[in-house]
Structure 1
Amino acid sequence: MPHQRPGASQAGSFDLSAWVAIPRPEAAPGIYRQGHELIDATQAEEAKVPTGQLLWRALLNLVATFATYYIGTFVLMWVTGTLFGWFAGTTPEQFNVVQILINLVTISCAAAVFWRTGRWREVWRRFLSPAGWRRNVAPVLALAVTHEGPALARSADEAAVVPAADPWIAQRLGGASAAAARLDRLSVGDVDYVRIQRAWESAQADAVFVPAFVDQVMARGGAAFAHPSESRDLLIRKGRHDLLLQQVRLGTTQDVVKNPQTHRATGFALDPTLLGTSLLAVGPAGTGKTARLARPITEALCLQTLAGTACTVVIGAAESDLGPDSWYDVVIAPGEPGTAYGLDLYGATQDPDEAAARLAEALLPDELTARAESARTTLQQVVGPFKTAYGRYPGVRELRSLLAGEPDILDPLVKALRESGQLALYERDLDHRQRQQGRADDPGVLLADRLGLLDRPAFEGAFATDGTGRMPFAMRVLDHPLRVRVKLPERSHPEAARILSRLVVGQFVVAAAARVDRSLFAGLVVDDASAALDANTIRGLQRMRGANAGAVLLLRTLMDLPEALRTQLFGAVGCRMVFPGIAPWDGKFFSEAWGTHVVHETEVTHTPDTSGGVVRRAGRLGRKALSGTTAQTESVTTRDVERLRWSPSDLAHALPAGHAVVSLTAVSGEQVPPLLVDLRG
């Protein structure tokens, strides 16, 4: 069935009933289930036979079937009539009955034998079944329309039609028949359908909610229970999605020996059950990580958000192709003054110590992580008193002044604490901060310098905490279906972009795991995660598995990460993906993580033939003199040996362009070994 973009804006172009009726059988993780055809082991072996050879054998066996039928019928009629004389004295009606029975016996026996030897079951599966016709025959007939006329194309389209189903049967049987009748008269897209079905499932929790469901559908039709943005689809939609299963198809698994038999020549797809274990993708620039992985997943998460099943946070450079701004509800671009949203540097947490600790971890560069504890303590010594005194967190400029110990801000802070009766609680912290000032190892100087990267005219109002700047966005809203895009100023302020990337990712990991309502899948996509990861964030990735959340992390090379984090990151993620062109030392990490498997290996050894007597030896000498070849004996040895699934050399040099190798782990623990996937088209 040709892929069409489902959507509410395409009135009449999306057949909802046919889309709902498409088979979606249970399959292993990573298989695109829409229209997938299950193949057993016997069918898998038959599927290896080339098409030409398959059809030629089928034709020969068809001829043999009819030949056997005629010969068998003649022999049986002769035996029963001539040798046994069974036809003597029978009436014409009796003779006809016996002849029909003999015909049935011979044709049944011949068909049973030659159906199997001719592999007609595979011919049916590959060409004559509805799925096989749509996959192999209908496209050829459609191309032939220029030569055979439009009638042939119409017959191909008619053969490709999927039987329709009633998409609103649950509502009709559940007491909302009026709502179902209203929806029947409207053009409803896949996003609308999934969103309405989700609302219906919620209404089933209590019968008193059913009338409210009916009222909403009667009033708004396909726009019932719409996303707060009132968007019902994405304006630009390129990927192939199945929102019923929350799958996005990324490519096709290759029919090669390295792939498991169940994952050969099938659609490759990802869904929240796989993304919930987080995905790490490594590959050089230009290999398609963004275009063929990050953008389709982002598109899928945004569609699922509109359908009310997910919330999405996407982080990347301002120039990264991660979809237009119209895809998102919140666009945070600190380097663009015209944007409406800023970023809450403290994540809207109510615990000042926790907020200061997160900010300190984001501010420190990788080479100074050894001073992380003292940096956290220093920030906590000034953030807590300020929050208590003024009821809000300090802005970037105020925080720099506090760390530098400027009297213009410290004196009013002490006065405010004294007036509120809280000075005794924080007096020790403030005194310690004053004693640290001027020392060579004062962490406050380092933190103030790092904060200076965010205190730039281009970021004016982006991080305000006093209500004078842009509206601050905080990650605590991950229990709402929101689409958030964070545009990092990597070209103009690369170090500030690094700080913001680490801060946002850290806030997401903490907020996703701390959610009370985890019914929405919280998806994070980081286009370049080299600057966004630290030890605490990596530990948080593992906690997200049980919180219905996951991250997609893209890296150009593992060498961009500190050495101590590389092994931790591999252990924290469940899905690993490698693109062509990686360095062998990067491939070594994947190769070791994927381990070995048992291979049935055959060795053939040739040795000179020295057997026999004088006559045989003389014959071998004569043969060598005349032909120049030596007679040899051949010995065959078979054994089971362990081999790497993918060696570092294969990953570095043997991957074709547009392909990737990916291993999968589902949230349930089910694993899929490395798959070679074609991501083109």
Structure 2
Amino acid sequence: MTKRREQFDNLKKKLAAIAESVSRPADAPKQAPAGPAAPPWESIRVTHPRLAEQLDELAASADFNDVDRARLINAIRGQVANPPELERLAQTIERDRSAALVHPSQQRDLPGRRFARHNLLAGQVRLGEVVPDHRGDFEITGDFGIDLDVLRTSLLVIGPPGSGKTRGIATPIVEHLSLAALTGKASMVVVDPKGTDFAYDGWFDVTIDPLNPTCGFSLFGGSRTADVAADRLASALLPPAVSDDKAYFIDASKNALYACLAPFEAAYERWPTVPELLGLLRAEQSSIDRVKERLKGPGAKEMKALLDTRKNQTLRTADPAASLVERFALLDRPALRRLLDHPGPTFQMRDLNRPVRVRVSLPEAEYPDASRILARLVVSQFVQITSSSETDRSIFKALVIDEAGRFVDDYVARGVQKLRSNNAGLVLLSQTMSDFPIEVRATVFGSTGCKAVFGGIDPQDADVFSKWFGDQYVNETTISRSAQSGTQYNQRGMPDGRSNSQTSGYSIRRVERARWTVSDIITGVPAGHALISLARSNGARVGPVLVNLRA
């Protein structure tokens, strides 16, 4: 027993080390002995003493907050091997002081009181406090938080209405991403189906709102080629999954989009507006003639042939792209045209390669079908941009989706696997796994490295999480008892009454049991708490742990 106890203690130490690595960024130093801590810019004091002295002066100033500190330290870390850039940074600090390298919004902090505690240098946000529980392999106590490296593995949050998904997890993460963008380390897109859950003043630079289109949204996400633009638009317009006998119509719809986009872009050197593209998709002769008249040069013949191909499609007994045309017509509404064909500034998804903060407010009550198309377009464009080789890996890019089950298709689910290497991640919130299409549930669940689940969920979901959280060894004690009776004899050998005796024994064995059973997850997770398991981009994992999100 002593040897087995020693092995178990060694296992606890190893697991505790893994937990510490998950809760601390990969580049963060290990805890040092108590004493005066050196400033983060101490490493440049010898090579750039002027810059170090300037930062010392700023640190003593009351005007120097944690956003300023993180913004300047991040700039130094990115240029530590570039002396000319560091010299220019010193000149900028001398001129602008604490406002040096300020975000394009000119914000140096978020207005109002913060919802959570943040360590912007480490990229960490506190979510709550760990509740010690006997079902864990080792004891983790104290504050519980996540960082940007953890979010690179993507996070799936499942909880019934009113459980606290938005207030307990999504809001602190969005607040942290907004602050991280002010430091130049992150960009984000938040899909807000209700339109009010994340409508905080000063948190966003761009709001995509069809009911109040102060900024436009590009249908094509900044695509540079017609084939990419056609695929992006088709992925949002077409159903997420079809049977094999319907695949022909899907392919024909994609070809129809390409046959309209390629000639128009060649003729006008821009992408069409909603009415212009709809006219070409419907093969209206006036629209086709206008494009053909502008086509010149060696490739004109091929482009005109594409337009004729679309015309021939519509002349068939049944137009194979008719479904796509009708779905695209849902966007041909006055309010949506003002958004998609906005004359002023227009957000393109490739803008995420700079620290920008975007909120997409969906008017589901007014335009339910068009809102779903818009949301799917946003999600698919995000995955395409962040998965491409052109993405800027120095900036963490996040997409937060509330009610995610309605907007995630197979393309997006498979794209989650590519985001980690490109320094991007998804935060998917849903009431149940059943909200996701059945063909993508396993992919979504397996591709997201981090999981959070609240009490009161569907039994089927609880069973999936119970299996994911795994088993643990527990001691099972078996007690056995036996009774014996007989006749007692005296010295003469004569019967002298009856006797009864009882014996007992016990045995202990180690058996595997579910760490969190289905019943435990459904009824054993208190209100305001969540079971959370985390993963790092290097594969290290920890959890599940019970977290009090209200602490």
The normalised TM-score by structure 1 is: 0.71
Any idea what SS the aligned residue of 1:462 has? helix
One-letter code aligned to 1:350 = R
Equivalent residue for 1:492?
366
User: Is residue 495 of structure 2 the alignment partner of residue 618 of structure 1?
Assistant: no
Identify the range of structure 1 (211-220 vs 242-251) with the bigger mean alpha-carbon deviation: 211-220
Equivalent residue for 1:195?
71
Equivalent residue for 1:384?
262
Assess, with a 3 A threshold, how the Cα gap between structure 1 residues 602 and 376 changes in structure 2: closer, same or farther: farther
User: Is residue 463 of structure 2 the alignment partner of residue 588 of structure 1?
Assistant: yes
Any idea what SS the aligned residue of 2:440 has? helix
Given that residues 512 and 544 in structure 1 are in contact (C-alpha distance below 8 angstroms), is that contact kept between their aligned partners in structure 2? yes
One-letter code aligned to 2:351 = V
| 1:327 Cα offset (Å) | 1.0
One-letter code aligned to 1:31 = S
Any idea what SS the aligned residue of 1:603 has? strand
| 1:364 Cα offset (Å) | 1.7
Given that residues 665 and 671 in structure 1 are in contact (C-alpha distance below 8 angstroms), is that contact kept between their aligned partners in structure 2? yes
Aligned counterparts of 1:410 and 1:210: Cα–Cα separation in 2: 56
Given that residues 18 and 542 in structure 2 are in contact (C-alpha distance below 8 angstroms), is that contact kept between their aligned partners in structure 1? no
| 1:306 Cα offset (Å) | 0.7
4+ aligned runs moved over 6 Å, structure 1? none
Equivalent residue for 1:353?
227
| 1:200 Cα offset (Å) | 2.1
Equivalent residue for 1:555?
430
Identify the range of structure 1 (537-546 vs 324-333) with the bigger mean alpha-carbon deviation: 324-333
One-letter code aligned to 2:383 = V
One-letter code aligned to 1:253 = V
Which residue among 23, 27, 31 is the counterpart of 1:31?
Answer: 23
Equivalent residue for 2:8?
none
Assess, with a 3 A threshold, how the Cα gap between structure 1 residues 186 and 323 changes in structure 2: closer, same or farther: farther
| 1:170 Cα offset (Å) | 4.2
Aligned counterparts of 1:373 and 1:258: Cα–Cα separation in 2: 51
| 1:422 Cα offset (Å) | 2.9
Any idea what SS the aligned residue of 2:129 has? strand
How does 1:109-258 map onto structure 2 within 5 Å? Answer: 166=39, 169-170=42-43, 172-173=45-46, 174-176=48-50, 177-187=52-62, 188-236=64-112, 237-258=114-135
Assess, with a 3 A threshold, how the Cα gap between structure 1 residues 166 and 432 changes in structure 2: closer, same or farther: closer
Any idea what SS the aligned residue of 1:599 has? strand
Equivalent residue for 2:453?
578
Identify the range of structure 1 (212-221 vs 362-371) with the bigger mean alpha-carbon deviation: 362-371
Given that residues 132 and 139 in structure 2 are in contact (C-alpha distance below 8 angstroms), is that contact kept between their aligned partners in structure 1? no
One-letter code aligned to 2:373 = I
Q: State the Cα deviation string for residues 167-203 of structure 1 (Å, max 9, x = none).
A: 6544544322441353145221111111111222234
| 1:612 Cα offset (Å) | 6.9
| 1:547 Cα offset (Å) | 0.8
Identify the range of structure 1 (519-528 vs 290-299) with the bigger mean alpha-carbon deviation: 519-528
Equivalent residue for 1:433?
310
Given that residues 472 and 515 in structure 2 are in contact (C-alpha distance below 8 angstroms), is that contact kept between their aligned partners in structure 1? yes
Q: State the Cα deviation string for residues 72-98 of structure 1 (Å, max 9, x = none).
A: xxxxxxxxxxxxxxxxxxxxxxxxxxx
One-letter code aligned to 1:585 = Q
Equivalent residue for 1:18?
none
| 1:513 Cα offset (Å) | 2.2
| 1:26 Cα offset (Å) | 9.6
- When Rg is computed on C-alpha atoms for both structures, the one with the higher figure is 1
Whichever structure has more strand as a proportion of its residues is: 2
Q: State the Cα deviation string for residues 377-423 of structure 1 (Å, max 9, x = none).
A: 22112111111111111221222211111112012122222x34433
Equivalent residue for 1:408?
286
Aligned counterparts of 1:243 and 1:517: Cα–Cα separation in 2: 20
| 1:619 Cα offset (Å) | 4.6
One-letter code aligned to 1:553 = L
Identify the range of structure 1 (278-287 vs 593-602) with the bigger mean alpha-carbon deviation: 593-602
Aligned counterparts of 2:498 and 2:273: Cα–Cα separation in 1: 100
Assess, with a 3 A threshold, how the Cα gap between structure 1 residues 366 and 180 changes in structure 2: closer, same or farther: closer
User: Is residue 537 of structure 2 the alignment partner of residue 667 of structure 1?
Assistant: yes
Given that residues 331 and 485 in structure 1 are in contact (C-alpha distance below 8 angstroms), is that contact kept between their aligned partners in structure 2? yes
The normalised TM-score by structure 2 is: 0.87
Assess, with a 3 A threshold, how the Cα gap between structure 1 residues 368 and 456 changes in structure 2: closer, same or farther: farther
One-letter code aligned to 2:512 = E
Given that residues 485 and 498 in structure 2 are in contact (C-alpha distance below 8 angstroms), is that contact kept between their aligned partners in structure 1? no
Equivalent residue for 2:492?
none
Aligned counterparts of 2:446 and 2:315: Cα–Cα separation in 1: 42
Aligned counterparts of 2:203 and 2:394: Cα–Cα separation in 1: 22
Aligned counterparts of 1:252 and 1:384: Cα–Cα separation in 2: 55
Equivalent residue for 1:306?
182
Any idea what SS the aligned residue of 2:104 has? coil
Aligned counterparts of 1:562 and 1:633: Cα–Cα separation in 2: 60
Any idea what SS the aligned residue of 1:478 has? helix
Given that residues 526 and 554 in structure 1 are in contact (C-alpha distance below 8 angstroms), is that contact kept between their aligned partners in structure 2? yes
* Aligned length in residues: 516
RMSD of equivalent CA atoms: 2.7
Aligned counterparts of 1:642 and 1:572: Cα–Cα separation in 2: 26
Equivalent residue for 2:357?
483
Aligned counterparts of 1:632 and 1:450: Cα–Cα separation in 2: 81
Equivalent residue for 1:532?
407
Segments of 5+ residues of structure 2 without an aligned counterpart are 1-16, 490-495
Given that residues 594 and 645 in structure 1 are in contact (C-alpha distance below 8 angstroms), is that contact kept between their aligned partners in structure 2? yes
One-letter code aligned to 1:329 = D
Q: State the Cα deviation string for residues 539-583 of structure 1 (Å, max 9, x = none).
A: 111111111111101111111122111111112111111112111
One-letter code aligned to 1:287 = S
Given that residues 182 and 218 in structure 1 are in contact (C-alpha distance below 8 angstroms), is that contact kept between their aligned partners in structure 2? no
Identify the range of structure 1 (225-234 vs 508-517) with the bigger mean alpha-carbon deviation: 508-517
Given that residues 171 and 179 in structure 1 are in contact (C-alpha distance below 8 angstroms), is that contact kept between their aligned partners in structure 2? no
| 1:30 Cα offset (Å) | 4.8
Any idea what SS the aligned residue of 1:657 has? coil
Given that residues 18 and 540 in structure 2 are in contact (C-alpha distance below 8 angstroms), is that contact kept between their aligned partners in structure 1? no
Aligned counterparts of 2:546 and 2:290: Cα–Cα separation in 1: 64
Q: State the Cα deviation string for residues 652-676 of structure 1 (Å, max 9, x = none).
A: 2322111111221110000113222
One-letter code aligned to 2:65 = G
Given that residues 663 and 673 in structure 1 are in contact (C-alpha distance below 8 angstroms), is that contact kept between their aligned partners in structure 2? yes
How does 1:444-463 map onto structure 2 within 5 Å? Answer: 444-463=321-340
One-letter code aligned to 2:20 = A
Assess, with a 3 A threshold, how the Cα gap between structure 1 residues 510 and 633 changes in structure 2: closer, same or farther: farther
Aligned counterparts of 2:286 and 2:439: Cα–Cα separation in 1: 42
Equivalent residue for 1:13?
none
Aligned counterparts of 1:293 and 1:669: Cα–Cα separation in 2: 22
Assess, with a 3 A threshold, how the Cα gap between structure 1 residues 538 and 184 changes in structure 2: closer, same or farther: closer
Assess, with a 3 A threshold, how the Cα gap between structure 1 residues 455 and 31 changes in structure 2: closer, same or farther: same
Segments of 5+ residues of structure 1 without an aligned counterpart are 1-24, 40-128, 131-161, 621-630
Any idea what SS the aligned residue of 2:544 has? strand
Whichever structure has more helix as a proportion of its residues is: 1
Q: State the Cα deviation string for residues 320-362 of structure 1 (Å, max 9, x = none).
A: 322514211111112224x2x1111111111111111111110
Aligned counterparts of 1:526 and 1:353: Cα–Cα separation in 2: 27
Given that residues 451 and 534 in structure 2 are in contact (C-alpha distance below 8 angstroms), is that contact kept between their aligned partners in structure 1? yes
